Amino acid sequence: MSAMSNIVTGLIVLALMLVAVLTWAYVSFAWMDSSVQSWKDMVETSDEASRTDIDILDANSTAPYVDVQVHNCGRVHLASFSDWDVLAQYYLGNGTYQIGSLSYASAGNLTDNQWNVNTIYSDTGMTQQEVFEPGILNPGEVALFRLRLSPLPGGNTTNMVAVSTYNGVATTRQFQG
């Protein structure tokens, strides 16, 4: 019987070793697959960001709004505006410095410290509203972003707006209060 118990014990140990090796292999392959997928995602995002470029052509304050003309001068079609970041740095009439991130409003009237895409134009002269792929800022097009700041920038102040796309490409422009 002792030989039989040694064989059974050996089989149990062998089974446990096989389970451990297979579990280790599965975890290793899953980790490698996850790492490769993360690498692919990073390369894809980096490639898209390298082909993305925006510029603010002009920014004007007309109370209670600031109108910002954002030109897509890259090669990527831009959308997902709710994932963009818009920040405003400005001075009140008494010289108090304000800085804040504005939230995106998809449609309707803006409330305090919100922004939206008012109109997209197919040319930098802003004479023709877009007709091709409405709601997407295609290369060469200009989007008129409307910001509603509260409190309002003071008169005769120099202020700044920063716009960043969903993939991290950013630009800034000064505007007068």
Q: How confident is the model at residue 109 (pLDDT cuts 50, 70, 90)?
A: confident
SS3 26: helix
Tens-digit pLDDT profile for residues 67-90: 999 999 999 999 999 999 999 999
- Predicted confidence at residue 98, as pLDDT, reads 96
pTM, two decimals, is: 0.77
Q: What is the mean pLDDT of the chain?
A: 93
3-state secondary structure of 99: strand
Per-residue pLDDT reduced to its tens digit, 143-170: 999 999 999 999 999 999 999 999 999 9
SS3 call for 68 = strand
Q: How far is CA 145 from CA 38, 66, 148, 150, 153, in A?
A: 33, 8, 10, 16, 17
pLDDT at residue 135 is higher than 90: yes
In percent, how much of the chain has pLDDT > 90? 76
The closest alpha carbon to 103, from 82, 79, 80, 78, belongs to 82
Fold topology of 54-176: Immunoglobulin-like (2.60.40)
Residue 1: predicted pLDDT: 60
Q: What's the distance, Cα to Cα, between the start and end of the chain in Å?
A: 96
pLDDT band for 7, please (50, 70, 90 cuts): confident
Query: 11 pLDDT exceeds 80?
Result: yes
Question: What are the boundaries of each domain within the chain?
Answer: 1-50, 54-176
